[in-house]
Chains A and B, each alone.
Chain A
Amino acid sequence: MAGHELITAQLELLAARLPADAVDELADGLWQAYETRLGLDGDPERAARAAIAEFGDADTVTAAFLRESPWRRAALTLLATGPVMALVWGAALLTLDVRTWPIPLAVKLGYGLALLAVAATLLLVARARLAYRPARPAVVAAAFGLLVLDLSMLAAVTHLTEAPPWPVAPAVLAGLGRILLTVRTLPAILRRGA
């Protein structure tokens, strides 16, 4: 059966955004929808438009793939830890005399900027609708970044404070908890595929 340029154009858009296997599968479904409509209507243009309407356009389909992706799920999970971590580490750092730590100011600033970059990356993935391909490497980078940041903070606190005040304990526990959570999300986000 002959194709139609509208269907081909939708598939080209999807091919630029999604993995090849997913596009093959979608192509099969979209052509089936088109052939079914063509059999009912007989007009190729109307059949193509109806098939796309029934199937969802390329933006709708891409957004659905992103919504169901393990990368978005991981981004939301890691983002959800943010408020609790900010609260417990904020309280802990207020009780510690961080200014006396023998760490250069540039490193402290770098830590803060890196934390902001990780949060911004996770937020972008969580809100993305069309950027399916960049979502996976972005979340993987953010997860590894978060691991490094959490481990660094734990190392700094345990090595640079001799008798930590009590608010440090929940912060350390929360830090360990997030490290475990991040490690548990890694297999799902490192796996390739739609």
Chain B
Amino acid sequence: MRAETLKGHLDGLLLAALEDGPRHGYAVKEALRDSTGGRIDLPTGTVYPALHRLERAGLISGSWSVVGGRRRRAYELTEAGRTALSGERAGWQEFASAVTAAMGARPWPATS
């Protein structure tokens, strides 16, 4: 899926990936890829700054641990993050219903 298609939905996707419990950045990216059957496979390195932004906004909180000699930062949803996720989900469902209704189930016209 193209990156521009995800614009405006990345926050909701990242929050949803943390809904089941704390995850570190790489695991968040893996969870996103697995839950979408590989259709959303972001460059892993770009997930971290988005997580930092969500943390600054108070929607997730991070904590450090040491695993296998490496420092690892795991994130979990805050109460504000759960509320924001509910809002993102409701907004997406409304948007998806509207677009589906507008486009209908008819096949696309042939272009040639």
Contact = CB atoms under 8 A, between A and B. Distances in A.
Binding between chains A and B: yes
The DSSP consensus for interface residues of chain B is: helix
Given A25-B25, A29-B25, A69-B49, A55 B44 contact: yes
B50 A28 contact: no
A139 to B, nearest CB: 15
Interface string B42-72: 0111101110110010000000000100111
B26 interface: yes
Contact of B43 (A31, A54, A191, A194): A54
A22 interface: yes
B26 A28 contact: yes
Interface residues of A, number: 27
Contact of A25 (B46, B48, B56): B48
B17 to A, nearest CB: 14
B24 interface: yes
B70 A64 contact: no
Interface of A: 21-22, 24-33, 54-56, 60-61, 64-65, 67-70, 188, 191, 193-194
12 contacts: A22-B52, A24-B70, A25-B71, A27-B71, A28-B73, A33-B44, A61-B46, A61-B48, A64-B43, A64-B45, A64-B49, A69-B49
